Amino acid sequence: MASPRISAYLPPDIDPTKAALAFGRRALPKLNEELQAPELLTQQRALMALCDLVHDPEKVYQAIALGFLDSLKTLLVHQDQTVRQKTTEVLSIMALHSIGREGLIRSGVISALTGLLDDPVDICRKNTHQIFDRLAKLPEGAGGVLRAALIPPLVLKLRTELDEIQELILETLSNCIRVEVSEALAAGALTVLKEKLSHPSAAIRSKAAWVLLEISSHAEGKIAVCKEELVPALVSLLEDTEPEAQVNSAGALMFAIVTPQGRSSAMGAEAIPPLLTLVAEETSKARLNAIKTLTLLAELPEGRKALLDHRDTFQRCLDDPSEAVQRAAEIAITVIDWKP
């Protein structure tokens, strides 16, 4: 008599690279013991099994409550590269969950990861930077990264690392700089970013512009940006093919030209025409930033004169579906029409 179940036994778990999981609640404690076992193979298999388990937030919570992070921290400095790679992968998946992020920040994994920045294996470094990136998206995480004095090494790594990792570093830096900018300026981030603005990869260009945006949102950052003469570079980036880069460079300009020197250098770099093209494009994401930048430029007499001719562009923006753009357009028109 045929039945759909061929055998009374469940199919065997034939993945030899993973450790066998105990049933139910015992799974994670047993994995914890296996992680601390002296044998290399046991540790590797336990890590593989852990990688799969950690996608579940409940398992993450349980793992952190059991104190997995301490055993993982000791494994970070293991000699075997598979162990290191898998450990960083586990930590990066943990950082995808909110509980994981909090746990990682609390247990000081960030300082333990600083040693892995110079790891010879690419994947380990990539995972490490992914962890930093994901952690830095939280304010506490950014604070943790700053406290671990990671900004100078990260800025150094920007010059030498692979492209993918550079993107991750740039994102991490942007989130950290939002909190505090002096360390990054001291580490000479502006010179590195100036080079990156002309990188062949579009993603790196846009991310570098985003970092500059964050830098120039602080007062000392603005002064430094104007001093390093990054405004002409940003203006040239406004005509970039990548829309992200346009958005970010418009945003960076928006912050940088609040200072009078910035405004004069922007006028000198003839920022108005590309900004106007950005505003005129109906679907551009950079509209908001471009309108704000033009508002700032309109406070200068020459700017106002130039923009009076293009007033109708702003009028058209008043009917924009996005409310923020409408408001910005109103403010821009007010500023343009202002008479002393």
Partner 1 sequence: MVPTRAPELTAPADLPYTFYSQPRSLGSRPKYREQSNAAEKEKGPVHHCNIMIDPRVVRGNVLSVRHPPQSTEPSTLEAKRQRRAQKQGLARKLTREQIRTGTPEPVEGREHVHVQTELYLEEISDRVIEVDGECQTDEFLDRPPTPLFIPAKTGKDVATQIEEGELFDFDIEVKPILEVLVGKTVEQALLEVMEEEELAQLWSHQRAFAELRNAEFAELQRLEEQDRRIREEKERRRLEHLEKLRKQKETAEKIAARAFAQRYLADLIPSVFNNLHESGFFYDPIERDIETEFLPWLMSEVEETLQKKVLGRMMLDSLIRMVVEKRLDEFSRLPPSDQTEAPAEEPRETDAAPQVSGEADVADQPIEEKEETDQLVDEE
Which residues sit at the interface with partner 1, rule CB under 8 A? 2, 4, 6, 55, 96, 137, 213, 217, 247, 251, 254-255, 258-259, 285, 288-289, 292, 295-296, 299, 324, 328, 331
Q: Chain centroid to CA 3: how far?
A: 54
Cβ 247 to partner 1, closest distance in Å? 8
Q: Considering only CA atoms, which of 251, 237, 231 is closest in space to residue 293?
A: 251
Q: Considering only CA atoms, which of 150, 149, 108, 152 is closest in space to residue 129?
A: 150
Helix (H, G, I), strand (E, B) or coil at 295: helix
- Listed in sequence order, the residues at least 6 apart from 120 whose beta carbon sits closer than 8 Å to its beta carbon are 81
* C-beta of 166 vs 206, nearer to partner 1: 206
Cβ 269 to partner 1, closest distance in Å? 18
CA pair distance 211, 191, nearest whole angstrom:
12
* C-beta of 71 vs 206, nearer to partner 1: 206
* C-beta of 309 vs 323, nearer to partner 1: 323
Cβ 295 to partner 1, closest distance in Å? 7
- Listed in sequence order, the residues at least 6 apart from 130 whose beta carbon sits closer than 8 Å to its beta carbon are 92, 95, 168
The beta strands (E) that lie in 235-293 are given as none
Cβ 2 to partner 1, closest distance in Å? 4
* C-beta of 103 vs 221, nearer to partner 1: 221
CA pair distance 182, 188, nearest whole angstrom:
10
Answer whether 299's CB lies under 8 Å from 335's CB: yes
Answer whether 222's CB lies under 8 Å from 181's CB: no
Q: What are the backbone angles phi and psi of residue 198, rounded to the nearest 5°?
A: -110, 25
Cβ 160 to partner 1, closest distance in Å? 27
Angle formed by the axes of helices 287-298 and 323-337, to 10°?
Answer: 20
Q: Chain centroid to CA 124: how far?
A: 18
* C-beta of 1 vs 38, nearer to partner 1: 1
Cβ 338 to partner 1, closest distance in Å? 10
* C-beta of 95 vs 158, nearer to partner 1: 95
CA pair distance 230, 215, nearest whole angstrom:
12
* C-beta of 178 vs 310, nearer to partner 1: 178
Cβ 288 to partner 1, closest distance in Å? 5
Cβ 126 to partner 1, closest distance in Å? 17
* C-beta of 11 vs 24, nearer to partner 1: 11
